[in-house]
Amino acid sequence: MKKNPNKIKDSIEDQVLLSVVYIILAIVVLVMLYPFAYVMSVSISDPAEVLAGKVTIFPKGFDLGAFKTMIDQPVFFAAYKNTIVYTALGTFFTLFFTAITAYPLSKDKFQMRSFISKVYIITMFFGGGIIPTYLAYKSLHLINTIWVMVLPGALSAWNIILMRSFFRTIPESLSESAYMDGATDPQILVKIILPLSKPIMATIGLFTAVGIWNGYFSALLYLNDTEKYPLQMILRSILVAATVNPSEKGAYAELTHSATESLKMASIVITTLPIMCIYPFIQKYFVKGLMVGSIKG
């Protein structure tokens, strides 16, 4: 039996195209991994080798002094604790408020659904500005409190749209059956909708957690007490304010005065590694939630 020449040609072309795609993806992966590999190598290399510019992708020597310097600072652990608290509370409040807002907006029987949705969409294009926002937070007694770090960003129009879109993909027959059994809307949301919404919950939760973990601008504007600073404020002090007045006395004086390239890279590794470890555990939910939530509006 002779093989069809056209099919053989198409098969070869597919294999060549697939090989090209794999090569391009491999190059992209290497480009994305190189910065992190360089940062990791510098953080554990001999400071003298780093200063001489001999470190590339592989470490030169082995020295954990930069990590020890970070760990020995009490302010480092305080900032780490603050960041964990801000991230946990901020993610919880975001998921809670987004869910209870998106659920009624996903119901066609809710008469105010269209109007309220438009009001939320307006907030995506217009903001109050830094000074009016600061004055509003001050009048609410939020300045220099933990709540200024977790409440203002707890409700986002974009998150509401994503979650509302996902809720609308869940068959309405499930809610109707629950209504016939005497269930209320809060019960339906908690016992039926949310258990089926793990993908979108993981997606929004991950976006929120990464945003809060990496954020420093809110702390810079609204926190006056250094004991309440998040971890990123230390990283900012080391990277941006490494050269300061030697007579300056402050929570980060010792770190900023002794800031070397190794210390800078060690601080980056310590601050980014925990949040990176979360991705593998929720990747399947993250991809599904991002795709499904963007298909149906």
Q: Kindly state the average pLDDT of the residues 49-71.
A: 78
Predicted model pTM: 0.77
pLDDT 10s digits, 62-103: 878 778 877 777 788 888 889 999 999 999 999 999 999 999
Q: How far apart are CA 41 and CA 174, in angstroms?
A: 54
Residue with tokens 């310097």: 69
Q: What pLDDT does residue 284 have?
A: 67
Residues 6+ apart with CB under 8 A from 117: 105, 164
Q: How far apart are CA 246 and CA 60, in angstroms?
A: 30
pLDDT 10s digits, 187-210: 988 888 998 888 888 888 888 988
Q: What pLDDT does residue 297 have?
A: 43
Q: How far apart are CA 57 and CA 133, in angstroms?
A: 44
Closest Cα to residue 97, out of 170, 154, 179?
Answer: 154
Percent of the chain residues topping a pLDDT of 70: 84
pLDDT 10s digits, 102-136: 999 988 888 888 888 888 888 888 877 888 899 99
